[in-house]
Amino acid sequence: MRIALLGYGKMGKAIEKVALERGHEVVFKIDLNNSAEKQLIRKDNVDAVIEFSSPHSAYANLEFCMKNGLKTVCGTTGWLDARREIEQLCIQNKASFFYASNYSIGVNLFFKLNEFLAKLMAPHQQYEIFTSEIHHTEKLDAPSGTAITLAEGILNNNKTKKSWVNNQIASKEELAIWSSREGKVPGTHTIKYISEIDEIEIKHTAYTRMGFALGAVLAAEWLQGKEGVYGMNDLLSL
Residue 30: closest CA among 184, 46, 99: 46
**Contact indicator for 73, 12 with CB cutoff of 8 Å:** no
Query: What digits encode the pLDDT tens for the residues 61-98?
Result: 999 999 999 999 999 988 989 999 999 999 999 999 99
Q: Is the pLDDT of residue 50 over 90?
A: yes
- CA proximity to 175, closest of 195, 154, 196, 157: 154
Average pLDDT, integer, range 183-197: 94
Q: Which residues contact 12 (CB under 8 A, 6 or more apart)?
A: 5, 29, 31, 50, 52
Reply yes or no on whether the pLDDT at 140 is more than 90.
Answer: no
Q: Structural domains in the chain? A: 2-103+210-236 (3.40.50.720), 105-206 (3.30.360.10)
Whether the CB-CB separation of 232 and 103 falls below 8 Å is answered with yes
Instruction: Tell me how far the alpha carbon of residue 81 is from its chain's centroid.
Output: 14
Does residue 197 surpass a pLDDT of 90?
A: yes
Residues 207-219: tens digit of each pLDDT: 988 989 999 999 9
**Known binding positions for (S)-2,3,4,5-tetrahydrodipicolinate:** 136, 145-146
Which residues are documented as binding site? 43, 75-77, 100-103, 136, 145-146
Binding positions for NADP(+) are 43
Active site members: 135, 139
Considering the entire predicted model, what is its pTM? Answer: 0.79
